[in-house]
Amino acid sequence: MLDPSVLRQNPAEIAERLQATRGYSLDAAALESLESERKQIQVRTQELQNLRNTRSKAIGQAKAKGEDVSALLAEVAGFGDELKASEARLDSIRNEIESIVLGIPNLPHESVPLGQDESDNVEQHRWGTPREFDFEVRDHVELGARNGWLDGDTAAKLSGARFTVLRGGLARLHRALAQFMLDLHSGEHGYLETNVPLIVNADSMRGTGQLPKFEDDLFTTEVGETRRYLIPTSEVPLTNTVRDTIVEAGALPLRMTAHSMCFRAEAGAHGRDTRGMIRQHQFEKVELVTIAAPEHSDDEHERMTRCAEVVLERLGLPYRRMLLCTGDMGFAAAKTFDLEVWLPSQQTYREISSCSNCEAFQARRMQARWRNPETGKPELVHTLNGSGVAVGRALIAVMENYQNADGSISVPDVLKPYMGGIETLS
């Protein structure tokens, strides 16, 4: 969340910036009114609490002397109801302010271009040349269905729409991709391989910004009166490992990677990419998360994005890097690079990785801090996350870019060690 002190001091200025960059309407007047009332009630509450403490002490002293305390007791009873009502109203106002603040998106970094949607994103560079085919290109659904490798009908029978069953060589290729990415990031890029829970509590979802704003996009589970959430990305448990923690400077940057299932309800995505594996309720991803000192987060953002690019380059998949505009960034991000991989069947680039610097936005929600050696005091860390990369979309890209005229799929060289010598899926 944004710095509450800045919001209190300059609500109108923050509202103007949010409207201009994010298209987000913050009711600054309502926030100022609540803040003014909070100050007044807090002052009165403190006065009443001090009065109660003073009178309670006087009652004790009077009793010790054997004096009559009925007048003092009557006085305490007289302002007791007011104190109780004042404390309740103060809690209510604080909750109202917190509810507003938790729904405000992060402010974009000054280097992020202004824009409303993906059409205003800025291409940074491209790598690789899209392959020219001398036969009619098939999409990943056609390629997978030919041998029963990719089965949406059975998945729909088991679970409903937006699920997929993978079989045989295609299932193995999917596994190989995840293993390759984990080995690359942990072995060459210096990320600590981590295995995380797939179900987390509300504090974890709130810490990284999924709650309260995006609850409709989450799958939930309830046992008794306890509600938990299936993770939409392993960014959630990885980042929350430093929640309510002070990290020593020597431990930074913390770089973590995890391969996990991810679950998204896709509540606002009806009718979008319903064919095949582009947009699923359940999918797998290799995630990258970094916890960094603020002065190093820009460099870590570039480093993380480069690590994701290496995955695509090793696989021989053409891609481009996009700098997202202010209107297309995620809720918690201050700056985001998207990597888009070339899909021959669509003759276009599609997102396969999103790498974001959230600066102190998530850390403030989580109270994740580091001890600055220059001051010796705890300060908020910066958090970064990125896909390194989405396994299902990488599978789609490999299938389509490595397809052959007979419908077979060649295995990229870098994956052959994970495929037990198989060079072609046919």
Q: For 364, what's the count of Cα atoms within 13 Å in the CB-facing half-sphere?
A: 16
Residue 54 among known ligand-binding residues: no
188 belongs to the catalytic site: no
Q: Say whether 234 counts as a known binding-site residue.
A: yes
Length of the chain measured in residues: 426
241 is in an annotated binding site: no
161 CB neighbour count, 10 Å cutoff: 11
Has 279 been annotated as catalytic? yes
The one-letter amino acid code at 366 reads M
Question: What's the rounded Cα separation, in Å, for the pair 171 and 395?
Answer: 10
In the chain, the amino acid numbered 34 is L
Give the whole-angstrom CA distance, residue 153 versus residue 158: 9
Q: Is 354 annotated as a binding residue?
A: yes
Taking Cα atoms as reference points, which of 387, 389, 423, 424 lies closest to residue 406? 424
Q: Dihedral through CA 311, CA 313, CA 314, CA 317, nearest 10? A: 100
The alpha carbon of 393 is separated from its chain's Cα centroid by a whole number of angstroms, namely: 19
Catalytic residue among 35, 37, 87, 351: 351
The answer to the question of whether 111 is labelled as a binding residue is: no
* Residue type at position 248: E
End-to-end alpha carbon distance in the chain:
51
Its sign, for the CA torsion 256, 259, 261, 263, is positive
CA 110 to the chain's CA centroid: 21
Query: Is residue 264 annotated as a catalytic residue, yes or no?
Result: yes
Residue 145 among known ligand-binding residues: no
Per DSSP bridges, beta strands 319-323 and 409-410 are unpaired
CA distance 328 to 170: 33
Tell me: cis bond preceding 212? Omega within 30 of 0 counts. Answer: yes
Selecting among 279, 306, 320, 350, the annotated active-site residue is: 279
List CB contacts of 281: < 8 A, sequence separation 6 or more.
159, 160, 162, 163, 219, 263, 264, 265, 266
Q: Are 425 and 173 in contact (CB under 8 A)?
A: yes
Please check if 352 is assigned to a binding site.
yes
Residue 233 assigned to a binding site:
yes
H helical segments located in 226-372: 235-240, 297-315, 361-366
Q: Residue 236 to residues 73, 206, 243, 341, 385: CA-CA distances in angstroms?
A: 52, 9, 11, 25, 10
Please indicate if the annotation marks 287 as binding a ligand.
yes
Distance CA 138, CA 213 (A): 39
Q: Which residue among 138, 264, 321, 365 is the active-site one? A: 264
Starting at the edge strand that comes first in sequence, how are the strands of the sheet with 122-127 ordered?
122-127, 319-323, 335-343, 348-359, 382-390, 282-292, 254-263, 192-193
The answer to the question of whether 87 is labelled as a binding residue is no
Active-site residue, selected from the candidate residues 354, 356, 365, 369: 354
Binding region = 233-235, 264-266, 287, 351-354, 387
Binding region for ATP = 264-266, 351-354
Catalytic positions are 264, 279, 351, 354, 393
Binding region for L-serine = 233-235, 287, 387
